[in-house]
Amino acid sequence: MDYPESSGWCEDCGNWSEWEHWDQSVFSECELLVVTLLCAPLLLLGIMGNALTIMVVWRRPQMRSTTYLYLSSMAVSDVLILLLMPLDLYKLWRYRPWLLGAVVCKLSVFVGECCTFSSILHMTALGAERYLAVCFPLRARLLVTRGRVRVLIGGLWGVALLSAGPVLAVVGVERLGGGVSECRCTEFAQSSGLLKVMLWLSNLYFICPLLLLTLLYGLIARRLHLRAHTHTHRDNTHRQTLRMMVVIVLVFILCWLPFHVSRTLFSVSDSSTELYYISQYFNLVSLVLFYVSAAVNPLLYNIMSARYRANVLAMLHLTVGNTDELRHRARTSPLTASHSSTHF
């Protein structure tokens, strides 16, 4: 069955490039307004929170553990994603005619996909580092250094850039009937099969790291359980770090699973009007969850890490209460190990 002409969708496009193909007739202005009002505070709080994360890591020497180097790089990715929100909201309200040119069309999708790949790769690398630190601590001391982690972070961004590169050929400004332009999947991407390749690459970027992280964190939890009777400072540190990282990964899964399920079902199912409308509303929910994922991490750090909280307050000169105690936490919280750069 063909889709309504006004939808801007094609049978092979799925829901590609986040939310490129909205049908304005599907959503009422009230629904669009609710989504916009939900996203606006996420933009403000997300940029402020992630900017604080970046600043506290680079301005506070005691926060430059390898774990926080990963988290600060993920914060850069989240800031870039959040900066694209106004453009996505513009496309949500007025997706055609496209007036911003081919460069903006391609780069907006490319940056969003690159940052998403980068965040997943960072979480996977951090999980592998946690596994080494808990299960092979002596080897971790030799292999995991700040210098090597900085090089690895650069490599992760390089892999993300290369992985997202084909997106530049997948989307573009296409002329539709009546000469109306739209930022959407290109005819080349559909006819060449590149679109389906990128759809499955995106899904593999979601599924494979989750399987690996599940294995790694399961092995870490097992090792810590076997040492539960020791109650050493180092093991307590590892347990707290493990809880933090598991929460971050779970939030990422909850925020991204609806999008991947919707896109996969759409790409493998027979075309139908019912599926089309379900997919559109699924995407509307996914849009909000996408930005929740980018905005929520600093809040999680603040709730679960006394060290992060104390250093942010110290950087902002907002320390209250027992100043000496807060300073001690900022330097040596329970998440700090004096001889290791890998702790949270």
Task: Please provide the average confidence, as pLDDT, over all residues in the chain.
Answer: 78
Distance CA 308, CA 313 (A): 9
Q: Give Dmax over CA atoms of the chain in angstroms.
A: 73
236, two tokens: 């307590």
Q: Averaged over 92-110, what is the pLDDT?
A: 87
Nearest to 208 by CA among 295, 291, 130, 117: 117
**Percentage of the chain with pLDDT > 70?**
76
pLDDT at 149: 93
Q: What are phi and psi of 113, to 5 degrees?
A: -70, -40
Residue 334 has pLDDT above 80, yes or no: no
261, two tokens: 């399920």
Give the predicted TM-score (pTM) of the model: 0.81
Residue 270 has pLDDT above 60, yes or no: no
Q: Where are the domains of the chain?
A: 5-332
Q: What is the pLDDT of residues 54-76, one digit of tens each?
A: 999 988 888 888 889 999 999 99
Report the SS3 class of residue 310.
helix
Residue 27 has pLDDT above 80, yes or no: no
Q: What's 242-259 look like in SS3?
A: HHHHHHHHHHHHHHHHHH
Torsion of CA 152, 154, 159, 160, to 10 degrees: 120
CATH classification number, 5-332, choose in 1.20.1070.10, 3.40.50.150, 3.40.640.10, 3.30.70.20: 1.20.1070.10
